A and B are shown apart, each in its own frame.
Chain A
Amino acid sequence: MADVTSSTQRDATQRPEIDRNAIAIALHRRSRRFGLFFWIPMVWLIVVAVACIFAPFWGLPPADEIDWVYIQSPPVEGHPLGTDNLGRDLLSRIVWGGRVSLTVGFAAPFIGVGLGLILGLIAGYYRGWADEVIGILIDAWLAIPGLVILLLFSVVFGGSLFMVCVSLGLLFIPTAARITRAATLNYATREFVLAAKAMGASDIRILRKEVFPNIIWPLIAFVLIDIPIAIVVEGSLSFLGLSVKAPTPSWGGIIAEGREVLSTSPHIAMVPTVVMFLTVLSFNLVGDAIRRRLADVREGAI
């Protein structure tokens, strides 16, 4: 509160009154501050992200290198998290597997929201038959079970990382399109859109410059929700062997391999599970905090 000075002059002899403004400002700042439930998960996410992005530079043994001396070993020197049942370094596999999980976690929502954004903008802005057709397409798409689509993609494209991202992304399209459409409907009839039209702006220009900046916030919130979902779904797919192919490690894959020796070496399955749990939880907590902040900003702007 030191930086907030009283705006009114007071008699020096009078007992210093508590400055109401200062309290209000301080309370406001406190309410705006990100708490520990933001920063602890954020630090974890940064650690995970840095570890995965710069995986080749840590001097870890290659994720598929077999150490014949230590097979299915608990943590020992040289293998800080031990080795799996084939003698591969668990830490290295988790780090390299994280690259797959995080790639899918970010790429899938962006693919889904990107395509859903285009469909939703068209439907919400032009209305009429475009809205009808897109609405029917989305309903049809929702009627197909997601698992079938994922299975189909993994069968046809055989576990390429890109196709895993695409297939997961496709599942996010309907919700993203609906959110975009609803938000677009809200803004497309506003007077500033008419004003832009009156100044000669084309439809694409209006969508890009007038509507899009207004609807970006709900979409960001949606992406923040989808990232952990994508990570979990990718983990499940890997567990079922429907994601990237062995020997490429992924968190779900490592858990699946560890399952076979769960009774003798539980750490092989447990460590990647815990890592994944913490990462997903962190994404959720951080996403929540950011969403709340965005809501504040939006309210302030109106």
Chain B
Amino acid sequence: MGDIILDVRNQKTAFVTARGMAQAVDGVSFTLERGRTLGVVGESGSGKSVLSRSIMRLLPSNALVPADSRVILNGRDLTRMTETELRRLRGPEVAIIFQDPMTSLNPVLTIGRQITEVLTFHMGLKRRAARDRAIELLRAVGLPQPDVRVDQYPHQLSGGMRQRVAIAIAIACEPDLLIADEPTTALDVTVQAEILDLLQRMVRDRNMAMILITHDMGVVAGRCDDVAVMYAGRIVEKAPVRDLFHHTRMPYTAALLASIPKITDPPHRKLDAIEGRPPDIINPPPGCPFAPRCLRADAGCDAEKPVLAGTSRHQWACLNPLGEEAPA
């Protein structure tokens, strides 16, 4: 077991809205060790992206985080830091890759400018050195003709190339923790695998830790060490990837896995969608948030909110988990 890079304890993030408080992240805790990748899976609105921004401390001004939430990165508590301290840390210690490389790159600056920008103010490189380093980084992320591309604008690059540039910017300062927030959602399927392989290689070569946020179970399967399944702002199941797939405990995870169409399915088979909609996070149900959609739910599920239980290796939040005799 390597050293712990990230330790998130009871992270809660709520947004003040016109309708009331929206509890987007509701008590998430996990640790992440160097060299490991944690997959965070969940459907839209489950709080995955808000979690990533909460870790980065990049929340909009209407976000509320209670005082007992802790994000400890390399032994230092980000929740106690000033904005200036955080700025020094973003880049060299933690970096994020966003979903859509069309919007995460500035359209009026050359990609070289956008990379050297980071290098000059975090690493103190001079202009020429920064440019050379930028070309090196672009080569490292597999961008063809890096010495030409460095002077081009984002619109001259394809989506996959842009995401490579975004990755180059993110790894420019050799961060310890890389957060990839649905890095392949906006990309062509054929490019997705390349980008994911690249991320995996970067994490391995540079001995970083990565949080890979996605809604795609398939992305998680091959490329993560551990997986956390999120639902309505909470982690509902967390396990090493094999255990999660083979010994699923939480009915929600099982439903997610079942909803993936199988290649052996007959054509025109109806997709196994999960019935119903995620709960309203402004007025959450008192019991298990998944209970209204859950096939195994009973009266107890509607009354009591389950907490994460199980071993430290495999945890789930369910009163009637799979693989156990349902109580009579």
Chain A-chain B contacts (Cβ-Cβ < 8 Å), number = 70
Contact A198 B107 (CB under 8 A): no
- With known contacts A194-B58, A200-B88, A301–B169 Cβ distance under 8 A: no
Please name the residue on chain B nearest to A213 by beta carbon: B108
Is A200 a contact of B90 with CB atoms below 8 Å?
A: yes
Q: Which of A128, A199, A202 contacts B169 (CB 8 A)?
A: A199
Q: Establish whether residues A301 and B87, one from each chain, have CB atoms under 8 Å apart when the complex forms.
A: no
Interface presence of B118 (CB below 8 A): yes
B166 touches A195 (CB 8 A): yes
Is A191 an interface position by the 8 A CB rule?
yes
Choose among A190, A192, A202 the residue that contacts B87 (Cβ–Cβ < 8 A).
A202
Pick out which of these stretches binds chain A: B91-99, B215-223, B283-291, B302-310. Answer: B91-99
Q: Among A128, A190, A197, A210, point to the contact of B90 (Cβ < 8 A).
A: A197
Q: A202-B87, A209-B117 are in contact. Are A197 and B58 (CB under 8 A)?
A: yes
Q: How far is the CB of A199 from chain B (nearest CB, A)?
A: 5
- Taking the closest CB of chain A, its distance from the CB of B18, in whole angstroms, is 17
Tell me, rounded to whole Å, the shortest Cβ–Cβ distance linking B58 to chain A. Answer: 6
Is A302 engaged at the interface, CB distance under 8 Å to the other chain? yes
Chain A nearest CB: distance from B122 CB in Å? 6
Q: B105 at the A/B interface (Cβ < 8 Å)? A: yes
Is there a chain A Cβ closer than 8 Å to B16's Cβ? no
Q: What is the interface residue range for chain A against chain B?
A: 20 to 34
Q: Are A190 and B155 in contact (CB under 8 A)?
A: no
The CA of A90 and the CA of B91, in the complex, are separated in Å by 65
Q: Which residues of A contact B103 (CB under 8 A)?
A: 190-192
| B100: Cβ under 8 A from any A Cβ | yes
Q: Which residues of B contact A210 (CB under 8 A)?
A: 106, 109
A191 to B169, CA, bound (A): 14
- The distance in angstroms between the C-alpha atoms of A270 and B283, with both chains bound, is 77
Name B105-130 residues within 8 Å CB distance of A.
Answer: 105-109, 117-118, 121-122
B122 touches A301 (CB 8 A): no
Assuming A190-B103, A191-B103, is B95 touching A198 (CB within 8 A)?
yes
Asked if A205 is at the interface of the complex by the 8 Å CB criterion, the answer is yes
Closest B residue to A212 by beta carbon equals B108
Contact A195 B122 (CB under 8 A): no
Q: Which residue of A lies closest to B93 (CB)?
A: A200
A115 to B280, CA, bound (A): 46
- Assess whether A199 is in contact with B91, with CB atoms less than 8 Å apart: yes
How far apart are the CA atoms of A201 and B89 in the complex, in Å? 10
Q: Give every chain B residue within 8 A of A200 (Cβ-Cβ).
A: 86-92, 118, 121-122
B153 interface residue per 8 A CB criterion = yes
Extra pairs beyond A198-B90, A301-B155 (15, CB < 8 Å): A191-B103, A192-B105, A194-B104, A195-B96, A196-B106, A197-B58, A199-B122, A199-B169, A200-B90, A200-B122, A201-B87, A201-B117, A213-B106, A214-B107, A302-B107
The 4 closest A-B pairs by CB, nearest first: A200-B90, A191-B103, A200-B91, A195-B104
Which residues of A are interface residues toward B (Cβ below 8 A)?
A: 128, 190-192, 194-202, 205, 209-210, 213-214, 301-302
Can you pick out 12 interface pairs between chain A and chain B where the beta carbons lie within 8 Å of each other? A128-B61, A191-B103, A191-B104, A192-B104, A197-B90, A200-B87, A200-B88, A200-B89, A200-B91, A200-B122, A214-B107, A301-B153
